[in-house]
Amino acid sequence: MSETVNDIRAEHDPLTALRQVSRTVHERVDQAYSRFNLSDPTSYGAFLQAHAKVLPVVEQWLATQHDLPAWRGRTDLLQRDLQTLGHSLPPALDWHPPTGAGGALGALYVLEGSRLGGKMLSAQVGEGLPREYLSAAHEKGGWPAFLQMLRERLFTGDATYRAAVMDGVTATFDLFRKAAVTD
Q: How far is CA 56 from CA 10, 64, 138, in A?
A: 33, 13, 18
Task: Indicate the SS3 state at residue 155.
Answer: helix
Per-residue pLDDT, averaged over 65-72, amounts to: 94
Instruction: Report the alpha-carbon distance of residue 50 to residue 114 in Å, rounded.
Output: 13
- Spell out the alpha helix ranges (H) of 53-133: 55-63, 75-84, 103-121
What's the pLDDT tens digit per position in 96-110?
999 889 999 999 999
Does pLDDT of 21 surpass 90?
no
Q: What is the mean pLDDT of residues 75-88?
A: 98
Provide the pLDDT for residue 11.
57
pLDDT over 70 at 8, yes or no = no
**C-alpha distance from residue 96 to each of 14, 58, 91, 126 (Å):** 25, 10, 15, 35
Confidence of residue 182 (pLDDT cuts 50, 70, 90): confident
Task: Report the predicted TM-score, pTM, of the whole model to 2 decimal places.
Answer: 0.91
